[in-house]
């Protein structure tokens, strides 16, 4: 597990822990209270000539604190820990076979992360 401390827009410090065994990134306040988590699926794909690569797909986002940059920090932390590209589902009204789908504020959040190049 890789943990790192970050500062949110409001000045609060948080700790983000990425567990590569479960592909889960969990955020905690400085009192170790869980304030959010993203769950990822590790996807293997062929790049040609027998070369295999991987990317992570966000399958669940749960944040009790929004608008402070926590989601962005979680995605950046996971990218830094793994080196993998990160993808997410689309707001097409359907749930994917892996269980991923966007609802509520997740739609706009993922759209913004795509615009910034953090999510493919």
pLDDT digits (tens, 9 = 90+) for 16-25: 999 999 999 9
Which domains does the chain carry? 2-115 (3.40.630.30)
Q: Which residues contact 120 (CB under 8 A, 6 or more apart)?
A: 55, 85, 86, 87, 114
pTM, whole model, 2 decimals?
Answer: 0.88
Percent of the chain with pLDDT over 70: 88
Give the DSSP letter string of 30-91. TT--EEEEEEEEEEEEEEETTEEEEEEEEEEEEESS-SSSHHHHHHHHHHHHH--EEEE--S
């Amino acid at each position: 597990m890789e943990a790192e401390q970050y500062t949110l827009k409001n000045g609060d410090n948080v700790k983000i822990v990425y567990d590569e065994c479960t592909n889960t990134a969990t955020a905690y306040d400085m009192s170790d209270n869980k304030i959010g988590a993203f769950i990822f699926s590790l996807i293997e794909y062929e790049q040609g000539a027998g070369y295999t690569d991987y990317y992570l797909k966000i399958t669940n986002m749960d944040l009790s604190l929004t608008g402070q940059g926590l989601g962005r920090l979680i995605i950046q932390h996971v990218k830094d820990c793994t080196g993998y590209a990160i993808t997410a589902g689309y707001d097409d009204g359907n749930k994917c076979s892996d269980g991923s789908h966007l609802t509520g504020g997740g739609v706009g959040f993922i759209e913004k992360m795509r615009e910034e190049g953090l999510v493919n």
